[in-house]
Structure 1
Amino acid sequence: MITEESARTWRTFIGARLLEKRQNADHGMSDWDYRKQVEAADAELESFLQALGREDQEAAENEWWGLKNIANEWRTHPEFPEPISDGTMPCPVASPDTGHPCTKPVHPGWTPSEGHGGGHFWKSPKLIELEEAGVHYDAGSLLAGKPTPYHLPENCAPGRWKWRDR
């Protein structure tokens, strides 16, 4: 959930970077450019706060992304408000039905709010534990939302029907 505090964090970050840019003797910006960019960030924040006040989560998220897009210029700055994934960062989105974590990692160079391509894929902690143990199960049944029997490889009898052979 996007909060007023997170939006203000982005706006503060943007303001500090614009001020640094304005004060940079080598690559500074004009007063007019500085004011216009500060006004744009302030307008995004104000629109966000208005949408939040109306409880319009979709509009609030759009305005929050507007702030993030402005801040994207300083993505490599050490004070960037969100961590940048190295490809091992877990997706922060949990299943709305069960609360199980998404098993896809956040793409390298992306932030947790940007996530990953494609939809989410949720597995229960029990399934993750069983897969790590190497169980045999019918994944097609699970994808269809049906329960499926499973067994460990050491319990796999010779000649036993294997789901992959269907």
Structure 2
Amino acid sequence: MDQDAFRRTYREMNERFCAYEKSLLSRHCNCSQAKKICIAEREGVHCISDEANAQCLELLKNLRHQARFALKSNNDNEVLPHGKAMRLQVGGLRGLFSVLYPDQTTPEVIEDVFQLISRAKAEFNSLDNLPFQTLIQHVSAYQGRRRLR
């Protein structure tokens, strides 16, 4: 299956894609609102809730804007390479966990993205009020897999 046909089919089958799809598929997090789908031999993630999808997209948009310097990216609209997208998603979620649960060690796997973001939204009254400096520190600190040579 060529890439263009796959992308077309994927968009048709998955009208509400998961904003944290890369993190979920790489097993860095789980979400109660995510459902895996298969197209040919590939996996994708569908969000079952409009509310959860909007909430996750809002957080990623805010994080991306705040992390421009850390990601070395000035344009909020350009597609991020996989490594930078993973830094933003995984590092952002780990930073959010550390803000909400300062007395606990940050886990390798975030158990429920929807619950974590919902709690942050309730605690800070809005995702715009998050302590982004702390979150960006985690984005900067996150390192994905190293290439094998």
> Normalized against structure 1, the TM-score is what?
0.26
> Normalized against structure 2, the TM-score is what?
0.28
Bigger Cα Rg: 1
RCO higher in structure (CA 8 A, sep ≥6): 2
Larger helix share, 1 or 2: 2
